[in-house]
Structures are given as C-alpha cells and as structure tokens.
Structure 1
C-alpha cells in the first residue's frame, strides 16, 4: 500500500507563498519514492491551489470564513484554541474521505500549535512539523527547521516532546531539483556586476520590488540587465510589469518555473529574507536582503554576521536612497561580492542539502526515530 501523506499549509497575499513552495519540494521528493501526497489549504485570497494542482497534487480547500480575518491580518500569530479546534475538525473531515489512516501529517503553518496537532493524532501515524519561529509548543514526532541560528540546538527546548527528532540547520534545506541542476553548472562570479535579479517573494505585500526598481533605475540607468520576478499573487504585478516594459534593460517574469536559472545568471540579487535566502546561498549568489516579516529577522541577522548576505534591515526603514548606496558600494568594490559568494557557499556546505535526502528516505521507509 502506498504511503499516504497529508500536508496542511496555506498561502495568501499576506502569508506569502513560502510555506507552500517548500512543502511542494517535500511532496515532490516523497512522490518519486512512491508516496501519495495531498494538500489541505484554506481558500484564502492569493492561495496557490491551482499551482499545486498543476504540479500534479490533489488539493482540498477549506472554506473561507470570518474567523480567517485574523489569519489574513496577523499570519504569524498562533491561533486561539477555538480557531484550532474548528480548523482541525475540518481537516479531520478530509482525512476521513480516504477511509484509512494517514501515514504522515506534515504541518507548515505559523498559526498551528500543539492543540491542533493533538486533535489530529488519532487519525495519523506520525506528525512532522516544519517551523522556524520556535515560539509555540508542538505535538510532533519530527521537527524540521532549515534555518541557521547561533543557538539552533536550544531554540526548541521545552517546545517539543522529549522523543521528538530534530532536524536543524541548512544541511536540511528544502530545495527543488532545479537548484541541484543549476549548482552543477554554477556561475563562478568575479564580483563584476552585469546582471541583477530583483525578487522579493511571490506576494511581496509591502511592494519592495517597486521601491528597489526605483532606486536601481535612478542609479544604474540602462547599463546593467535587471531581471524582475513576481508571483501570481503579487497585488502590484501589473504596475511592475508596466515599469519593466518602459526600460529596455528591464526584464519581467511572473510565477516562473526557472528561478534557479535566473539566480545562476545573476551577479547580484535584491530580495527578501526567508526561504529564498537559502536558494541564493546554495547558488553562491551575493544578495542584498530586506526583512519583510518578523520571522525573517533572526536568521537574516545571523547569516549577515557570517558575511553570506548583506542585511539592509526592516523594510519600513529601507528607502530608495539606502538601496542606491548599497548598489553603489558593491559596484565599486567587486571583491566584496566575490567574498560574499564564498561565504554563502561555505554556509550551505559542499554537498548543499544532502541531509534532507536522508530525512525524506527515512519518512518513505517509516523509520524516523
């Protein structure tokens, strides 16, 4: 009998696409090992259900209701017990449709804690949580946090069961196959900048993309290629597209399937913190990072202190002038970009995220300790 895996994760214009994208990476790896993977997502504005289906996975949409308002306004806030119970009941309704026990429940959601997870325990064999906040208790067998922190080993003390297996650090990066292929042909950068990538995540709710473009266009003119990427859920994508079509050196891309190729072609990137930080590091792409969500702060600062990225700080304090200054600095001092590439690659290791392969294999064989 096939291994049956259910993933509970959401995407929206405020939540962004990161949770779904890293779960899709997990799902693809489990699929090739013979697993059956289904997604359960809330029908939020900007959800990625159609994209998930286009990748070959079944999606069950939970209805949008008034209680979802908080999730839209405060995506990082843990749900109330009442909200957890309501969502868990709806999710259990999906489980029952399969008429068998779910082998693995994978949860990647900032709103969900041990209350929700405990309610699902009876219908699942094992529970795996993907997290990076370490701000709430979990009832799980496995916890995965792929980020780098100074105190990684201590962050989840007291937040997970004593027998929970912890998989912590960049050696467990969830990267799509396109990144491994791009790594084989990775660009060796000299520090000279001819191609810039601008990508602030799929939704970019704070519109950092337009802010960055304003600065780069004012300073660079038309001398350097600038590739701009948005997601389908970006509310400003049409305006950004219009800006790009007004300049011959600006190239617009929306909801791409070749982001690794675009990263590999670039000499410098401007983007947000979060999962794309690790994608850029994996390909040795020097990057200027703006923190656009509270959950990005700790990791962005820690990675910046290692010299693997340049941290501009909290988005509200980043203006056009700050972007121009950092662009000027790196164009004038190419050796700094060359050094950043080396430190980024050192951080993820020679083999990149080989550790995640061991975890996926263990899950597919039902033998995680």
Structure 2
C-alpha cells in the first residue's frame, strides 16, 4: 500500500502540519506502507525532521503527463496536479494536512484510483473526503456539518502522535516546588516573532525562576535578549526533539497549535498563546478541558492574562493539575 502526505513546512507557515504527517508516516510504515511527503519543506527544522524520519520528499520529475513541479502547489491543492501524482505513483491514499480551500479534490482523487484523507482544525482545512480527522479537543461534542464525507473521526483522541512523544512522557519531571525551569516555544519557526513578548511578560511577573530556555530563530534572538535582560536566559535554535526538551522543564509557554497536544500527552504543564487565528478554536477547547493555562494573545500578556502567567510560574499546584490532566485526555 502507498500513501502520499500533502503538507508544507515553511518559515511563514510553521512545521505543525509536517509534524502531524510524520506521526502518520510512522504508523503507516510500521504497518508496511510506503509513504512519501508531497509539498514544500523549506524550514530548516522541517528538513531535519523529514531527513530523520527517512520519509522521502517528492520532487517528482516524473513519468507521463505529470509536470515537473506537480509536487508543488505550494499554496493551493490543485486537484488535477494531485490526481496526476496519485496516478503516477500508484498511491492508494492521498492524505492532506493543509488549510488551502479546494473544490472537487475528492472526486479527482477517486477518479485517479485513490482515496482522500484530510485533517482539519474546526473549519480550517475542512473539505469532503473519504476519511476526515479533526483532532481538536471537543470536536466530538461540537460535531461537523454533513458534506458527504465517509469516516469522520472527531476529538483529540484521534490526534496523530509521534513516538518521540511517548518517549518523552516517560522522562517528564514530576511537579516540584523549586523555582520553575521554563521553556518558551512559539511554534517550530516562531513565524510571528512572539517569543520576545512572552519573555518580556515572564520578566514583568517578577516571579523567580530557574533557567528560562527560549527556542528562537537567529533573526529574533537580539529582541529576546533585550526582553529578558534580567532573566536567566538560555537561547537555543529550533529543536529536533522538542518533546524530550519539554519533559526536562517544569512549565512550557507554547503557541496554541499542534505542540499543545503533544505536550499534554508528555505530561508537562503548559500555558498556551494564540499566535494565529486558526489556533483559537483548539485553544479555547484545550483551556476549557483544563489541558493548558490560557494566556490569550501576545498582546494580552501585557494586561488581561498577566496574572494567569504569574500563577502558572509561581504555583506548583496549578502546574501539577495541568501536567496531570494532559495524559488523561490526549
């Protein structure tokens, strides 16, 4: 059996879609499937994760009528191009983890002899497919508009998880009353440059911490240093094994995307920051389920949610509740 996984991993869009696809690739290859990623993987972290996985990336220069750039609709999901890829590779399944709107993709893939599987986050990426997965918490209660899709899997229990998450769960440090060691990670690429705002907010709380490790791109590093001049900062680049690094910390302040579910499964206390509008539904549901402390947007940290951040940093009981809730739900 063969599967194509359509996703992108770029500085602007982050690596979350690729991370989910690689979790699926792990499971598929363990069951004997042949898998390839189809898309634009330009973020250095994305390239490293893909290389470590052993999953090939098409370019596809291909036989027959498949154009040389058929592996790239970089910003859309052109049904004709993707159907041509399915035919040329004899793929049984095209799996799409991408928010671009598209009409007629399921019909095109079926005509090419394949089935279409899609991941969506609430309304983002929603389209008709043979298999639909919405892994956001509470999706099973919210439901989904009928659109003719086949199997529909709703809720965080269907979130794809890499084996690295399970390994990190075994490493997670128990909650303690010491000055908390803090990790700040605003997505795989910190596309919005929000890390400096988070570090400034940590400094404003006045809470004494252990080391504050910040995952930051080189072009944002100086802003972070200025914001955290009075903190015990440690700056590192994007991490190949983020779950393991998170497990070594008492609290993680994270963007409210894919990382929230992975860290919940690891069993580490988190505070989530909304850095993109497509994260808001999952953020609100995760906060409602007690999986993370809701810190709002980077701007909110200067006012409305500053107290929540201070509590997260200063109260071991709060961190303990959050750390325990994640593995029960995810």
Contact 2:4–2:91 (Cα < 8 Å) also in 1: yes
Contact 1:113–1:137 (Cα < 8 Å) also in 2: no
Q: Is the partner of 1:326 in helix, strand or coil?
A: helix
Equivalent in 295, 315, 318 of residue 312 of structure 1:
295
Equivalent in 238, 255, 260 of residue 255 of structure 1:
238
Aligned length: 320
Deviation at 1:235, TM superposition (A): 7.3
Hey, what does 1:335 align to over in structure 2?
317
Hey, what does 1:146 align to over in structure 2?
135
Q: Deviations over 1:59-98 (max 9, x none)?
A: 124859xx96xx4xxxxxxxxxxx65xx233333433443
Write the distance in 2 (CA, Å) between the matches of 1:264 and 1:50: 21
Report matched runs for 1:94-243 at 5 Å.
94-98=85-89, 101-134=90-123, 138-149=127-138, 152-161=140-149, 164-190=150-176, 192-217=178-203, 219=205, 223-230=209-216, 234=217, 236-239=219-222
Contact 1:191–1:337 (Cα < 8 Å) also in 2: no
Q: Is the partner of 2:152 in helix, strand or coil?
A: strand
Deviates more, 1:205-214 or 1:102-111: 205-214
Structure 2: unaligned runs, 5 residues or longer: 60-67
Hey, what does 1:359 align to over in structure 2?
none
Q: Deviations over 1:90-145 (max 9, x none)?
A: 333433443xx311111111114442232222224322111112367633221112
Structure 1: unaligned runs, 5 residues or longer: 72-82, 349-369
Deviation at 1:222, TM superposition (A): 7.7
Deviation at 1:243, TM superposition (A): 6.0
Contact 1:18–1:275 (Cα < 8 Å) also in 2: yes
Deviation at 1:187, TM superposition (A): 2.2
- Is 1:88 aligned to 2:59, yes or no? no
RMSD: 3.2
Alpha-carbon spacing, 1:103–1:24, altered in 2? closer, same or farther (3 Å): same
Deviates more, 1:237-246 or 1:249-258: 237-246
Equivalent in 20, 34, 39 of residue 18 of structure 2:
20
Q: Deviations over 1:252-284 (max 9, x none)?
A: 232322211211111111111111111121122
Deviation at 1:223, TM superposition (A): 4.7
